[in-house]
Structure 1
Amino acid sequence: MLLLVLCTTAIGARGQSSVLPVNLRCEYLVNPLGIDELQPRLGWTLQATDSNAYGQKQTAYRILVASTAKELESNKGTVWSTGWVTTDDMQHIDYKGRPLREDQRYYWKVSVKDEKGRISDWSSTATWTTGLLQPGSWKATWIGSDEIFDPRQRDCNIADPWLRKTFDLTEQPQKANIFIASVGFHELYVNGKKIGDGVMAPAVTNHVKRARYVTYDIASALRPGKNVITLWLGTSWSIFGPYIAPGKPQTPIVIAQAAIYNKDAATPAVLLKTDRTWLTHPSPNKLLGVWDSNRMGGELWDASKEIDNWNTIQADESTWRAATEYHPRLLLSAQMTEPNKVMNEITPVAVVARPDGSFRVDMGVNFAGWTAIRVKGQPGDRIDFQFSEREQMDMTFGLHSAFIIGKEGHGEFRNHFNYSSGRWITIRGLKYKPSPDDIRGWLVRTAYEPATTFACSDSLQNWIYNRVRWTYENLSLGGYVVDCPQRERLGYGGDAHATCETGMFNYHLGAFYTKWMEDWRDVQGTESIVGNMYDTAWAHKGLMSGRYLHKGILPHTAPTFMGGGGPSWGGICVSLPWFLYQQEGDRRVLEKNFEMIKNWLAFLDTQTKDHLLMRFGGPWDFLGDWLWPGATAEGMNNDKPQTVCLNNCYRVFNLRTAAKIARVLGKNTAAVQWEQQAAEASNAINAKFYNAADHSYSDSSMANLAAALLAEVPPPAQRAAVMKRLETEILINRKGHIHVGITGGALLFKLLRDEGRDDLIYSMTSQTTYPGWGYMKANGATTIWEMWEKDLPGHSLLHSSYLYPGAWYINGVAGIRRDPQSGKGFRHFVIRPPLLTASQLSWAHASFASSAGEIKTAWQRTAGGITLQVTVPPNCTATVELPEAEGAQVKESSGHMKKKGTRNGYTLFELPAGNYTLRSMSSPG
C-alpha cells in the first residue's frame, strides 16, 4: 500500500502543473544589461495553464542560474541552484549564489510546484549582465573637448563634440560590452552604426556626486581588422548651474571602457578605454539656449559643417584634435532604469501659410519630444522652428530650433540632444509651404511598460483618464518626473505626490522610482537653489538663511536642486518609498531609504516649537498648497496660518508613515518615537487650528481638511464630523467643484480614495465649468494644465499639477484596491466597485498587470442590480466588497467564492485565483 501511495504521488507530481512562470524580471527590469547590484532580486508571475480552473497556487520554486546558455539548457545551476524552496513568494527573491563577476552574462530560469505539488515546465530563459562592480575596475579617464561653456552668452557657445578611437582586432570577438558614463547626453556608434534604440542617455543624475553608466553590447558590430568607435556628446545637463563642482568642466564629458574577448578567451584581447589618445571634432550640432528655466532652447544643425563618414573608418582624421582629459570626482554607478526611447509618432493635422511668410503647423496634440522636418532652399539659408503650447503665440518658454541648409540644398532637421514641447510649430525662413508629410513628431520618454487598460460609460471620465496618462508620459523623460518639460524640467517632490500613485497604478515603475529615490538620497544635505543657477555660491552653500545646513534637509527637487517648495516637497522621501512598498511588496526600498527618512524628520524637529513646525527658510522654502483656483490673485507664497496648518498636518502624515515603515523593518524604537511625536503634534494642531463651531481647520479649506484627515489629526470622536465638513465644502460651498491645488489635491484625492468616497471624487471630476478637468476639455486642452486658469501668461499647459485622478480610475472606478495589510503588493487585493449610481456611471472595465499578475474587473450597474466580472491571477486571492444591499443576494456559479461576513456596511466575499461572474439582484439606495 505504501508503494502504491508513493507511485500515485509521483504520477501526480508529473501531471500538468496548473501554472507556468512567466514575465521574468531582474531588479524590475527585463534582461537588464550592466547592473551593479551584488544581490539582484529576481521575480516572475504565473500563467494559468487552464483558464477555466480555480485556486492555482505556487507552493515552491526552484531557480537555476548559470554562466552559459548551454549549462542552463542542461539544467545545471552552476552559479546558483536553490533546490526546492517551499514558499509562495515570487517577487524580490534575493540572489544568493556565487559572488557575481563583473562584465558577465548570467542565464536563469525558474520552475514552480503548484497547489497539488505538480512541477511546472521551466520558464523561458532570462538573463542579466553585470557592469563594473568596483571603483578600481575603471581604467578609463574622463575626456571631452577643450571648448568650455560661457554662461554669459544668450545661446550656448560650444558645439556638441564627436570623439573617436580606431583600433584593430585579429578576429570576430565573442563578447564586448562597453560601459559609458557621460555628463551630458551621448550616442554611441560602432563602425558607423548607432548602437541601441535608447536616446538622450544617460538618465538625469545629480552630477555633483554621481554619473550613471549605460552598458551596450557591441560584439556583433565589431569585425576583424580595423574598427572605430565614435561617441557623440550632447551639451544638455553638463552646463546645468546646480551641477557646478570642483574638477568638473562646463562642457560635456565622457568615460568609457570595453573589454573585448575572443572566442573562449579568459582575458580580453583588447581593453578599450577613453584617454587623451582619442580624437575630437566639433559636430554640426549645438545647443540653442543655456539649459536654464525658460532658456532650454533647442538645437541648431548647421549642414555646412557636416563631415562625410565622420563615424566610420573612412573619415579623414587630419582635422581632428586630441581629446582633453578631465578629473571630476564622481561616483560611477550603473543606470538601473529603462532608457529613454522614441515612442508615439505624431503627424500634423494642418499646415497654414501666414501673411508674414511663415508657416504654422498644428500637430494636433500638445507633446514633449522630438521633431523631424525636411527642408530645402539655398545653401546658407537658416530655417527656424518655434514651438508653442498656445495657438495665439508663436513661441512659448523660448523653445526654438534651427537648421542651416548645406551645399546639397536640402536636408532634415532632427533632434539628438534636446527636445521641444508644444502643439504648434512656426516655421520661418522657408520659401515654400511644407507638406504635412515633411513633418513628424514623436513622444520621447523613459521606456517603462504600460500596466493598465481602462474605459467606462462616461466620456468625460475617459477623456480625463487618457489625458492624465498622456501628460504623465510626457513628463517622465530621464528617469524622473518633471514639473513641466518646457520651462523648468525639475523633479519637484510636491509634484511627485500629485503623480506617483497615478503612475504606479498605470505603469511598471519599480525601477523608475527606485532610481528616483537614489536621486533624493544623493541631494540630501543641500537646500534648494532659488535664483541665478550659475552663481556657484548659491549652488552649494553651507548656510540656509544664516543657519547651519542640517544634514537631513532636502532640496525641493531631485536630482535637480532648483526650485521652491515646502515640507511636503522634501517629505516625498517618506511617502514614495511607502507607496512603492505597498504597491510592490518591496522591503528593500524601505531599507535603502530609512536613513534619509530619519535624517529628514530630524531636520523637521529642529524647526519645531511646542510640537508645532514653524515657518523656516527663505520666501520659497515653506510653501503649502500650490495653485488652487484663484491662488495667484490671493497670494500663495505667504505667512498665513493656513500654510502653517497644512505643513504641520503634513509633518504628522510623514511621522505616521515613517512609523509604519519602521514597524515593517522591526525598528520599534524609532516607530514609538515617531508615533509619540505624531500624537503630540496632532494635539497641538487641534489646540491651535481646530474650529469647533464647524469642525474645520484653519481657513476651512479643502486642503487643510484633507491634510488633517489624511494625517489622522482629528481625535477619533470628531473624525466623522470633520469628514462631513469636507463633504459640505465640496458639494455645498463649492457646488461640487474642486478647490485645491497640487499639494492639497494630492492629499485630498489620496484621502477620498482611501475612504472610498467615490461620490465626492466623481462630483469634482464631472464638472464642466471652472475649475475642473471638464473645464480644460471644454477649452480645447490636450494635456493637463499647470493652473486651473488657462490664460494667465507664463504658465504651462503640460504639467504635473493635477494628475491625481489617474489612480482613482483604477482603484476607485475599476475597484482594484491594494490591501493595506498585505505587505506583498497585490498578492492579496480588494475589489470594490464604486459607490455611484447607474445614472452616474453604468459600467467600467479595466485590466491591471500588477507585479503579482494581471487583475481584471468589469462591472455593469442597472436599476436591477450589479454584474461584476473579476479575474484573480494565479497565486493571488481577492476580497470582493459589495454594499450590503447588493451583497445580500449574490449569485456566482463556480462554487469557489466564499462569503466572509460583513464589515463597515459591506458584504465580503473571498475569491481564490480564477475567473468569476457575480450577479446581484439589488442596487444601493
Structure 2
Amino acid sequence: MAHSAMRIYDLSVELGSFALGIGETRPRLGWKLRSDSRAEKQSAYHILVASSSLLLEENCGDLWDSGEISSDQSVHIVYEGAPLLSRQRCYWKLKARDSKGAETVWSETSLWTMGLLNEEDYSARFIGHPSSPEEGNPEAVMRQPSPYLRTVFELDSKPEIATLYATALGLYEARLNGNRVGSFVLAPGWTDYRKRVHVQAYDVTTLLTEGENAIGAIIGTGWYAGQVGWYGPGQYGTKPCVLLQLEMTFSDGTKRLVVSDGGWRASFGPILFSDMQDGETYDARLNMPGWDKPGFDDSKWSPAQSLDLPYTGLTPGVGPAVAVIESLPPLASQEPSPGCYVFDMGQNMVGWVRLRMNNIAEGTRIRLRFAETVHSDGTLYTDNLRSARQTDEYIAEGALEEIFEPRFTFHGFRYVEVTGNPGLPESFELTGCVVHSEMPETGAWNCSHPGVNRLQSNILWGQKGNFLSVPTDCPQRNERMGWTGDAQIFAGTAAYRMNVASFFTKWMDDVEDASFSNGAFPDVAPNPQPASLNEGKPGWGDAGVIVPWTMFRMYGDKRIIEKHYQAMADWIAYLEANSVGGLRPDIGYGDWLSVNAETPKDVMATAYFAYSARLMARMAAIIGRRDDAERYEKLFGTVKQAFSFAYVSEDGRIKGDTQAVYTLALYMELLPDRLRAAAAARLAEDIERRGGHLTTGFLGVGYLMPVLSGIGRTDLAYRLLLQENYPSWLYSVSHGATTIWERWDGWTEEKGFQTPDMNSFNHYSLGSVGEWLFRHAAGIDTDDQEVGFKQIVIRPRIGEGLDFVEAAYECSYGTIRSEWRAEPGKISLRVTVPVNASARIHIPMRPGYRLLEGGIPVEESSDVELTTFGEGEAVCRVGSGSFEFHSVAVEWQNASWEKAD
C-alpha cells in the first residue's frame, strides 16, 4: 500500500523540541506536517511511547500505544499512557493519515526524559566553600570569590546511560573530565529561591571513561547572593552553593551514583569576584590547570562544606535555558585617549565579550567597560547605568595565548572600552557573545521602508536582550527586573518574533510565586523583596491575567489557564476588594513615560479592572467554568457601567482627554455603542492636532495602532508608524538606535540625553507596535474561535507609505506567509497556509476590481471558496497550501493574464 506524501516533522514535548529532565507527568506532545498538496490535513494519528529505543523500533509502545485516533489535532496532545516516574526515558514516534485516509510513514524517533520528581530522589547535598563572607557586610557578600569544587571516582567500564542533575543557589558551571557540561550559561536561572529552584538534567554519557573520572563545578553569586535590582546583594542568601547528582546505568543493569557531599574538595581560584551588575574579575595567574580532570593534586584544597538545606522547592527545569546564541565581531574602533580603545559592536546587545590575547606580559591588568552609547568625543556614556559598574577585569598570566570569557555576569552594551594593554589593538581579538534564553525565532519581516525594517530589527534585539531567564525591563543598569506591566503589553509582539510558549510558562510560575496573600499579583516577578511595595499596580498586576490569555490565543494553551486559574481568580477578588462601586482608585504608575499627555491613573486603573474581568470570563468559559464565566462577565458589565458613568461625558469625551484614555476605552470595549464613534473621532482628532504624533506611554502604546485599524483609521496608523519627527518610533531609528529605547526622548537633538536616572536604550515596551505590524500590516492573525492559528485569518491593512510587506510566522502548525504588494491598478497577495490549518483570507479590493487566484478568476479555483465579494475586500476560505491572489483594476478585465501580471 502506498504511503501518503504527507510528512511529519518537528516533534515537540511540553512546548519544546527536546526535553531532558522535565517535571510534567502528563506532558503534551505536538508535531508539524508537510505536504506539497493543497487543502491537506490530518484525519487521524497513532502515537507510540516506549521505554527503550529498541522497543520503539519494533513498534511496541510499552508506555503508551494510543491506537489510531480520528482527529486533526496535532498540538497539545496529552500523554495518556502508564504513569511516568522519576528518570523515566520516553522514546516516541507517530504516524498519521492525510485527508484522503492514506497513512504516512513513521516519524523520526524523539526522546524526552523525566527529571527527579520527589524529594526522596535526591541523595546529593548542597555544598560550598567552607569559608563564609563577613556577616552583615553586603560588600563582602557581593565580592566573594567563586568557589571551585571537585571529586574523583573510578569506573570499571563506561556506563550505557549517564545523567547529571545539577542546580545551585547562585550560578554554576559543571565540569566533567575537563569538559564543560552542556551549553547553558547563568544556570539554573532566576526563580524565587525561597519557593522554587530549577534543576537541569544533562546527558553526559559520552564524557565518561573507564578508569578515573573527575567531576567538578564553579559557583557564582548570581541573583541569589549578588546584586538584584537596586536592592543590593544577598536578597535570597549570602553563600552560594551547588548540588550535583550523577546517575549512571551500566550494560548489566547495575546503577551507580556520584553525588555532591562533604567528601568533595573546595578551593578558591582565578575568579576573584563576579556580580551580575558589576562584572567579573579574573586573575589568570591563579589558574589551576587540570583542576577538573583526573590526576590533579587537590591535597591543599579544603574539605567542601555540606549544607543542611531542604530539598523542598527543587523542581525539574521549566522553560528555555540561557545560552550564548550567536557571536558578533566589532564593526569599528577608535582611540579617544592614549591607551583607551573603544570598540563598536554595531548592535546594542546583551552578554559579554570574549578576548583572545597574544604575548601579554604577566600581571598586565586589562579592563573592559561596557556602555550602550558614547559621547560626541567617543568616550563611553555610562551615566544611565546608575550604580551598575558593568566592568570586567583580566589579569594576565603571561602565556603565549590567553582567552578570557566571563562566566557569571552579563552586560547590556554596544560599545566596549578596553584599557591596560600596551599591545592593543594588534595583540588581541574581541568577539561579542550574544546571550539570552533559547527561543527559536518565529517571525520574519521585510517591507519597502528601510526604517520600518530597522524598527522590526530593533524590536527583535530588544527582546533578545531582555528575555534572559525572566522578561527584564532593561539589561544594563542596576535594575534588570521582571516588570509585569512591561511583559504583558509586549507578550503578543514577543510571540510573533520568537517562540515564547515555554518562556512564559516558566515566568507565570514566577508571577504566581511572587503573588501576595491578599491575592495581588506583583509589579515584578520574581520579587526579591516581598515586603516591598511591589503590589498590584494597575496594568502591572493585570499581567497575571493578560499573559495567560495571550499564550492561549497564540498557542492554544489551555493548561496555563488551568494552572493559574485560582491565582487569577484571587487577583479579581483583590480588585473587587480594592475598588469602590466598580472604580479603582488613583494609584499605580499610569501610562508610564507618556509624552506631552497625563492620563488619569484612576481611569487607567478602572479600565484594566474591567479588562481583567472580561478576560477572566472568557478563560473561565474556555475551561468549562460556566458559572464563573457568567459571574465575571457580569462584573465586567458593572465596571464598564461605572467607568462610563464616572469618566465619559455625553459627547464621548473621556476624563483626561488623552490618546491613552480613548485607546483603552475603545480596545477594552468600555463605551456604550452610541459613544464609540465620538470617542474614536476624539482620538483621531488628537493625533491630527499634534501633527501625526502619538503621546502614549508603556500601556497605551500597545493598543493604539490596533484601535486605529479597528475604527477604520489605518491611514492614521501608518502616519504614526512612518513619522520620523519626535516623538515617534522612527525618531530613534533615524538617530542610529539598534534597540527600542525606554523613553521616546531618551536622546533628542534639542536636549541631548534624558535624565540618567531612567534612560535605558534597550527596553522593549514601546516596541509592542510589533504585534500590529504582524497582525494588521501583514495581516497574520488567529481566529478567535479556533485559536493558536488552527484557523488563520489573513487580513492585511494596506496603507500609504509602504509598497509591499513580506512577513512570515512559524506557528504551531508550520509556516504562515502573507506577502502583499500594491501597484497602480493591482494589489497582489501571496499566502501560505501550513498543513493541518485553514485560513480565512481578506483580499483588499478597490471599486471595479476583479479577483484572480493563480491566474484564473477566483470563482474557477477549485481550492478557494469565495464567501464575500464587495467593495473594500473579498473574503475567501482555503485549506493548506500556497495561493496567489491578484485584485486587478477593471480596465484590465478583458486583457490577457500575461498583461495583467
Selected match of 2:481 from 475, 490, 493: 490
In structure 2, the residue matched to 1:613 is 584
Once the 2 structures are TM-superposed, how far is the Cα of residue 412 of structure 1 from its aligned partner?
Answer: 3.0
In structure 1, the residue matched to 2:33 is 46
Secondary structure class of the residue paired with 1:553: coil
In structure 1, the residue matched to 2:240 is 252
User: 761-770 or 388-397, which moves further after superposition?
Assistant: 388-397
Q: Do structure 1's residue 878 and structure 2's residue 839 form an aligned pair? A: yes
User: 408-417 or 32-41, which moves further after superposition?
Assistant: 408-417
Against the structure 1 CA distance between its residues 899 and 864, is the aligned structure 2 distance closer, same or farther, given a 3 Å change threshold? same
Secondary structure class of the residue paired with 2:481: coil
Once the 2 structures are TM-superposed, how far is the Cα of residue 146 of structure 1 from its aligned partner?
Answer: 3.2
Alignment of 1:456-605 (within 5 A): 456-525=447-516, 550-561=517-528, 566-605=537-576
8 Å Cα contact 1:866/1:886 also seen in 2: no
Q: Do structure 1's residue 316 and structure 2's residue 297 form an aligned pair? A: yes
Against the structure 1 CA distance between its residues 131 and 288, is the aligned structure 2 distance closer, same or farther, given a 3 Å change threshold? closer
User: 445-454 or 345-354, which moves further after superposition?
Assistant: 345-354
1:64-89 alpha-carbon deviations (Å, 9 max, x no partner)? 11111111111111211111001111
8 Å Cα contact 2:48/2:60 also seen in 1: yes
In structure 2, the residue matched to 1:201 is 187
Against the structure 1 CA distance between its residues 649 and 923, is the aligned structure 2 distance closer, same or farther, given a 3 Å change threshold? farther
In structure 1, the residue matched to 2:754 is 792
Once the 2 structures are TM-superposed, how far is the Cα of residue 670 of structure 1 from its aligned partner?
Answer: 1.7
Q: Which amino acid aligns with 1:428?
A: T
Tell me, in whole angstroms, the C-alpha distance in 2 between the residues paired with 1:436 and 1:890. Answer: 64
Tell me, in whole angstroms, the C-alpha distance in 2 between the residues paired with 1:784 and 1:517. Answer: 24
In structure 1, the residue matched to 2:898 is none
Alignment of 1:34-183 (within 5 A): 34-48=21-35, 51=36, 53-149=37-133, 151-153=137-139, 156-183=142-169
Secondary structure class of the residue paired with 2:56: helix
In structure 1, the residue matched to 2:408 is 417
Against the structure 1 CA distance between its residues 920 and 399, is the aligned structure 2 distance closer, same or farther, given a 3 Å change threshold? same
Tell me, in whole angstroms, the C-alpha distance in 1 between the residues paired with 2:474 and 2:509. Answer: 19
Once the 2 structures are TM-superposed, how far is the Cα of residue 409 of structure 1 from its aligned partner?
Answer: 7.7
Tell me, in whole angstroms, the C-alpha distance in 2 between the residues paired with 1:591 and 1:200. Answer: 30
Against the structure 1 CA distance between its residues 524 and 753, is the aligned structure 2 distance closer, same or farther, given a 3 Å change threshold? farther
8 Å Cα contact 1:47/1:874 also seen in 2: yes
Q: Which amino acid aligns with 2:646?
A: K
In structure 2, the residue matched to 1:833 is 796
Q: Do structure 1's residue 653 and structure 2's residue 611 form an aligned pair? A: yes
TM-score by length of 1: 0.89
Q: Which amino acid aligns with 1:793?
A: T
User: 425-434 or 487-496, which moves further after superposition?
Assistant: 425-434
1:830-867 alpha-carbon deviations (Å, 9 max, x no partner)? 11121314xx2111112211002211122111120211
User: 66-75 or 385-394, which moves further after superposition?
Assistant: 385-394
Once the 2 structures are TM-superposed, how far is the Cα of residue 30 of structure 1 from its aligned partner?
Answer: 1.4
For structure 2, list consecutive stretches of 5 or more residues without a partner in the other structure: 748-752, 892-901
In structure 2, the residue matched to 1:453 is 444
Q: Which amino acid aligns with 2:741?
A: W
Tell me, in whole angstroms, the C-alpha distance in 2 between the residues paired with 1:760 and 1:891. Answer: 30
User: 231-240 or 321-330, which moves further after superposition?
Assistant: 321-330
Against the structure 1 CA distance between its residues 31 and 311, is the aligned structure 2 distance closer, same or farther, given a 3 Å change threshold? same
8 Å Cα contact 1:628/1:739 also seen in 2: yes
In structure 2, the residue matched to 1:726 is 683
Selected match of 2:11 from 24, 27, 42: 24
Selected match of 1:858 from 816, 819, 832: 819
Tell me, in whole angstroms, the C-alpha distance in 2 between the residues paired with 1:155 and 1:297. Answer: 13
Q: Which amino acid aligns with 2:561?
A: L
8 Å Cα contact 1:866/1:923 also seen in 2: no
Tell me, in whole angstroms, the C-alpha distance in 2 between the residues paired with 1:94 and 1:907. Answer: 39
In structure 1, the residue matched to 2:894 is none
Tell me, in whole angstroms, the C-alpha distance in 2 between the residues paired with 1:60 and 1:94. Answer: 15
User: 473-482 or 860-869, which moves further after superposition?
Assistant: 473-482
8 Å Cα contact 1:706/1:748 also seen in 2: yes
1:382-423 alpha-carbon deviations (Å, 9 max, x no partner)? 221111112115352221111112253863331111112211
In structure 1, the residue matched to 2:895 is none
Alignment of 1:805-824 (within 5 A): 805-823=769-787
8 Å Cα contact 1:646/1:708 also seen in 2: no
Selected match of 2:325 from 340, 343, 352: 343
8 Å Cα contact 1:900/1:909 also seen in 2: yes
8 Å Cα contact 1:288/1:400 also seen in 2: no
In structure 1, the residue matched to 2:422 is 431
Q: Which amino acid aligns with 2:293?
A: T
In structure 1, the residue matched to 2:851 is 890
Once the 2 structures are TM-superposed, how far is the Cα of residue 104 of structure 1 from its aligned partner?
Answer: 2.6
Tell me, in whole angstroms, the C-alpha distance in 1 between the residues paired with 2:712 and 2:303. Answer: 65
1:10-52 alpha-carbon deviations (Å, 9 max, x no partner)? xxxx33314222110000111210001100000011100xx2x
Alignment of 1:274-293 (within 5 A): 274-288=260-274, 291=276
Tell me, in whole angstroms, the C-alpha distance in 2 between the residues paired with 1:238 and 1:86. Answer: 49
8 Å Cα contact 1:203/1:335 also seen in 2: no
Selected match of 2:731 from 770, 775, 788: 775
Q: Percent identity?
A: 29
8 Å Cα contact 2:163/2:247 also seen in 1: yes
Q: Do structure 1's residue 369 and structure 2's residue 369 form an aligned pair? A: no
User: 243-252 or 800-809, which moves further after superposition?
Assistant: 243-252
Tell me, in whole angstroms, the C-alpha distance in 2 between the residues paired with 1:561 and 1:513. Answer: 19
Tell me, in whole angstroms, the C-alpha distance in 1 between the residues paired with 2:700 and 2:172. Answer: 39
Once the 2 structures are TM-superposed, how far is the Cα of residue 154 of structure 1 from its aligned partner?
Answer: 8.2
Tell me, in whole angstroms, the C-alpha distance in 2 between the residues paired with 1:585 and 1:735. Answer: 41
Secondary structure class of the residue paired with 1:608: coil
8 Å Cα contact 1:660/1:671 also seen in 2: yes
Against the structure 1 CA distance between its residues 581 and 381, is the aligned structure 2 distance closer, same or farther, given a 3 Å change threshold? same
Q: Which amino acid aligns with 1:126?
A: S
Secondary structure class of the residue paired with 1:761: helix
Tell me, in whole angstroms, the C-alpha distance in 2 between the residues paired with 1:342 and 1:758. Answer: 40
8 Å Cα contact 2:412/2:475 also seen in 1: no
Q: Do structure 1's residue 760 and structure 2's residue 752 form an aligned pair? A: no
Q: Do structure 1's residue 359 and structure 2's residue 338 form an aligned pair? A: no
Tell me, in whole angstroms, the C-alpha distance in 1 between the residues paired with 2:884 and 2:730. Answer: 34
User: 914-923 or 380-389, which moves further after superposition?
Assistant: 914-923
Tell me, in whole angstroms, the C-alpha distance in 2 between the residues paired with 1:347 and 1:286. Answer: 28
In structure 1, the residue matched to 2:896 is none
Tell me, in whole angstroms, the C-alpha distance in 1 between the residues paired with 2:498 and 2:401. Answer: 41
Secondary structure class of the residue paired with 2:603: helix
8 Å Cα contact 1:845/1:858 also seen in 2: yes
In structure 2, the residue matched to 1:10 is none
Secondary structure class of the residue paired with 2:269: strand
Selected match of 1:184 from 155, 163, 170: 170
Q: Which amino acid aligns with 1:796?
A: S
Q: Which amino acid aligns with 1:196?
A: G
1:463-492 alpha-carbon deviations (Å, 9 max, x no partner)? 111111111111111254444344311111
Once the 2 structures are TM-superposed, how far is the Cα of residue 902 of structure 1 from its aligned partner?
Answer: 5.8
Q: Which amino acid aligns with 2:664?
A: A
Once the 2 structures are TM-superposed, how far is the Cα of residue 286 of structure 1 from its aligned partner?
Answer: 3.8
8 Å Cα contact 2:607/2:643 also seen in 1: yes
8 Å Cα contact 2:30/2:77 also seen in 1: yes
1:202-240 alpha-carbon deviations (Å, 9 max, x no partner)? 122111211000001111111111111111112111215
8 Å Cα contact 1:877/1:910 also seen in 2: yes
Q: Which amino acid aligns with 2:250?
A: N
Selected match of 1:703 from 637, 660, 681: 660
Tell me, in whole angstroms, the C-alpha distance in 2 between the residues paired with 1:32 and 1:205. Answer: 20
8 Å Cα contact 2:133/2:141 also seen in 1: no
8 Å Cα contact 2:128/2:242 also seen in 1: yes
Selected match of 1:919 from 855, 867, 886: 886
Secondary structure class of the residue paired with 2:802: coil
User: 666-675 or 223-232, which moves further after superposition?
Assistant: 666-675
Tell me, in whole angstroms, the C-alpha distance in 1 between the residues paired with 2:847 and 2:320. Answer: 44
Once the 2 structures are TM-superposed, how far is the Cα of residue 882 of structure 1 from its aligned partner?
Answer: 2.8
Secondary structure class of the residue paired with 1:759: helix
Secondary structure class of the residue paired with 2:280: strand
Against the structure 1 CA distance between its residues 241 and 305, is the aligned structure 2 distance closer, same or farther, given a 3 Å change threshold? closer
